[in-house]
């Protein structure tokens, strides 16, 4: 997905200087580690740029699993594996803060009825079984 929303339609081109090969590493128990290896346009490694390590996990909620994604500061795969737990904890804490903020915003919103949606003064009129001639 392009980072710049102004990039539309036929103007969408990949930046050949920012290519990464994505590798996934998992223990099939806890989570997933994405390794973004910088490459040149010919597919060879680009040692001038740093490898990016990103972790993914799921937080179970009452409405189902919530995917959590977090960066792992590391220079090697072994460092990323060792740092996974701390980075995951930080990612979950960030997600919980964001959820609490969304709940706060939702509970503090004031619902104002649109003009003309209130019943006329004196009640809704009609509807009773006793009628006066």
The pLDDT tens digits for 26-81 are 998 888 999 999 999 999 999 999 999 999 988 888 888 888 999 999 999 999 99
* Cα-based distances in Å from 76 to 25, 50, 79, 95, 96: 13, 10, 5, 26, 29
Please report the beta strands in the chain, taking only residues with DSSP state E, as ranges in sequence order.
19-26, 32-39, 52-61, 64-71
Kindly report the pTM of this predicted structure.
Answer: 0.66
Q: What percent of the chain has pLDDT over 70?
A: 74
At residue 123 the predicted structure's pLDDT band, cuts being 50, 70 and 90, is low
CA–CA distance, 37 with 24 (Å, rounded to integer): 11
Q: H helices of the chain, where?
A: 77-108
Per the DSSP assignment, residues forming a β-bridge with 52 are 36
């Amino acid at each position: 997905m392009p980072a710049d929303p102004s990039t539309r339609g036929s103007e969408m081109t990949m930046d050949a200087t920012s290519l990464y090969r994505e590798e996934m590493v998992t223990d099939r128990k806890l989570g997933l580690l994405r390794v973004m290896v910088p490459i040149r346009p010919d597919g060879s490694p680009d040692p001038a740029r740093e490898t990016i390590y990103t972790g993914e996990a799921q937080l179970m909620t009452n409405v189902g699993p919530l995917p959590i994604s977090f960066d792992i500061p590391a220079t090697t795969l072994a460092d990323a594996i060792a740092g996974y737990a701390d980075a995951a904890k930080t990612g979950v804490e960030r997600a919980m803060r964001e959820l609490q903020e969304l709940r706060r915003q939702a509970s503090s919103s004031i619902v104002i009825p649109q003009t003309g949606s209130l019943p006329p003064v004196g009640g809704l009129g009609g509807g009773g079984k006793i009628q006066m001639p």
